[in-house]
């Protein structure tokens, strides 16, 4: 039975009777008694056991944030734990969800023992001196120096730099009896699979339905009705790790196998990297040819997101020798002036030679939007003569061969790539931007045994 003690008493019809028998102070104590209200599957593993990671892998609405916050509160009071950290996908999420949210640290703490929150210091301090520092998954380097006993990672699979966040957080667990608590809905991440396989990892699995009595009726009607029975529902509601999507043109293993942790723009010749190429040809000398960096943009269509992807490859790329690297995914949802500014910022930051947009998908509008921010940015248009599938298939073939490399992790772009089935839905904006990018960077390279003979070459306007 996974129900709480409160559930069992309520089912017996005695919950009101229980509270009626308590004075005000006792009732208040019971309201904040996590052991009374939690389900058995939300119980922290026995601290006397030698576990190092507790992974709560559960669906939306399960109560992951509440479990994480209550566990942190419990650890600060039941042991000598004094140095803690909490990491959310963004600084805003750390504040709005982990601390000030309805299930956050402040909400689960009783008024007489509520910790002090100092936003400017990113710090939560309890009356007994225990301190928790907030971090953003957007800045994994900030986790390098600090030492902690406990780190709480919330939704790390949604972080573009999730692997780096986990690595840096674990390297900082050097005090007391280090424990890592992970709360989130799973996605296809190699580092998550590796953590799950560790012998000292305790995994708690759960679905949305286990907390359904506490969810809003509208959520149940709309969300469960829409996603139950779908692959996305298996992931978001039942917390299943989805494998390959039948009919998708990309596989997650391609990204993981060909990924670069870093990129040296001063010595960018990929052929010098050991183990990547087996062509038998002599590698070219470093910097023997110039590399070009461009920004590809797919304007907002049915979605409000503008695809903005940056990449680099040698001029006059040669088949079997030259590869392309994806440097950044700066895709943005917002007003035209906002995504226009994001395009210009990416162009300037990466020292790109030009911005490329699709002529027959709002190309003139896109150029006007970018030039409204900076009229000096060169905007060039490409003409898409083939269907989205025909353009994407040769790019996926190059990816399969190992000719395209993500520098770091771009989780949203990778999720879109591995979940898009051409015959079932329109291609998403991030993926469209990447396809435009690779077609332009490697327009003189045709993959051997390509699934189609067209789609990789672009005509300049």
Task: Encode pLDDT of 226-250 as tens digits.
Answer: 667 665 666 677 777 666 666 778 8
Name the pLDDT band for 48 (thresholds 50, 70, 90): confident
Q: Which CATH class, in words, describes the domain spanning 38-236?
A: alpha beta
Cα torsion through 311, 315, 320, 321, rounded to 10: -90
Q: Which fold has domain 252-460?
A: Nucleotidyltransferase; domain 5 (3.30.420)
CA atoms within 13 A on the CB side of 119: 8
Residues facing residue 86 across a β-bridge: 134, 152
Provide the whole-model pTM. Answer: 0.61
Return d(Cα 79, Cα 41) in angstroms, integer: 22
Cα torsion through 65, 66, 72, 74, rounded to 10: -160
Q: CA 418 → CA 234, 323, 399, 415, distances in Å? A: 16, 21, 12, 5
Name the pLDDT band for 198 (thresholds 50, 70, 90): very high
DSSP label at 200? T
Mean pLDDT of 36-54: 90
Q: Is the dihedral of CA 275, 281, 287, 291 positive or negative?
A: negative
What are the extents of the domains in the chain?
38-236, 252-460
pLDDT in tens, 334-364: 899 999 999 999 999 999 999 999 876 666 8
Residue among 170, 203, 191 at smallest CA distance from 55:
203
Name the pLDDT band for 318 (thresholds 50, 70, 90): low
Mean pLDDT of 121-131: 94
Q: Which helix (H) or strand (E) holds 226?
A: helix 225-227
Mean pLDDT of 126-149: 93
Task: Give the pLDDT of residue 423.
Answer: 66
Q: Is the dihedral of CA 273, 274, 277, 283 positive or negative?
A: positive
Q: Which residue has the higher pLDDT, 190 or 338?
A: 338
pLDDT above 90: percentage of residues in the chain: 40
Give yes or no for residue 405 having a pLDDT over 50: yes
User: Would you say the CATH fold of 252-460 matches that of 38-236?
Assistant: no
Give yes or no for residue 142 having a pLDDT over 60: yes
Determine the angle formed by the axes of helices 388-401 and 429-441, rounding to 10 degrees.
70
């Amino acid at each position: 039975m996974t129900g709480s003690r409160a559930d069992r008493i309520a089912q017996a019809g005695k919950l009101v009777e229980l509270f009626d028998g308590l004075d005000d102070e006792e009732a208040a104590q019971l309201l904040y008694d996590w052991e009374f209200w939690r389900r058995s599957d939300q119980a922290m593993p026995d601290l006397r056991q030698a576990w190092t990671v507790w992974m709560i892998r559960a669906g939306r609405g399960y109560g992951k944030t509440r479990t994480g916050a209550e566990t942190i509160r419990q650890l600060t009071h039941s042991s000598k734990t004094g140095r803690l950290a909490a990491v959310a996908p963004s600084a805003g999420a750390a504040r709005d969800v982990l601390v000030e949210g309805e299930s956050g640290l402040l909400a689960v703490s009783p008024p007489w023992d509520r910790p002090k929150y100092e936003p400017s210091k990113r710090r939560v301090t309890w009356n007994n001196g225990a301190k928790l520092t907030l971090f953003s998954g957007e800045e994994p380097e900030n986790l390098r120096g600090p030492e902690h006993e406990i780190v709480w990672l919330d939704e790390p699979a949604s972080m573009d730099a999730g692997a780096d966040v986990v690595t840096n957080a674990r390297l900082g667990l050097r005090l007391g009896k280090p424990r890592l608590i992970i709360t989130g809905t799973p996605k296809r991440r190699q580092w998550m699979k590796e953590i799950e396989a560790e012998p000292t990892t305790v995994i708690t699995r759960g679905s949305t339905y286990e907390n359904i009595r506490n969810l809003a009726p509208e959520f149940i009607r709309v969300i469960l009705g829409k996603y139950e029975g779908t692959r996305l529902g298996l992931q978001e509601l039942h917390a299943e790790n989805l494998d390959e999507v039948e009919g998708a043109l990309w596989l997650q293993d391609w990204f993981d196998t060909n990924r670069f942790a870093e990129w040296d723009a001063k010595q960018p010749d990929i052929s010098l990297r050991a183990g990547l190429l087996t062509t038998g040809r002599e590698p070219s000398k470093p910097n023997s040819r110039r590399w070009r960096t461009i920004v590809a943009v797919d304007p907002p269509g049915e979605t409000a997101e503008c695809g903005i992807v940056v990449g680099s490859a040698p001029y006059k790329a040669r088949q079997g020798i030259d590869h392309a690297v994806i440097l950044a995914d700066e895709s943005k949802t917002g007003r035209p002036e906002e995504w226009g500014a994001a395009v210009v910022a990416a162009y300037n930051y990466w020292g790109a030679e030009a911005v490329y947009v699709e002529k027959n998908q709002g190309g003139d509008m896109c150029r006007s939007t970018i030039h409204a921010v900076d009229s000096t940015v060169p905007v060039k248009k490409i003409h898409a003569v083939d269907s989205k599938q025909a353009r994407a298939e040769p790019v996926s073939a190059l990816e399969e061969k190992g000719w395209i490399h993500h520098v770091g992790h771009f989780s949203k772009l990778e999720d879109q790539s591995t979940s898009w089935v051409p015959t079932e839905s329109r291609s998403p904006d991030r993926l469209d931007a990447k396809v435009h990018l690779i077609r332009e960077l490697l327009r003189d390279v045709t993959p051997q045994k390509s699934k189609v003979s067209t789609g990789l070459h672009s005509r300049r306007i």
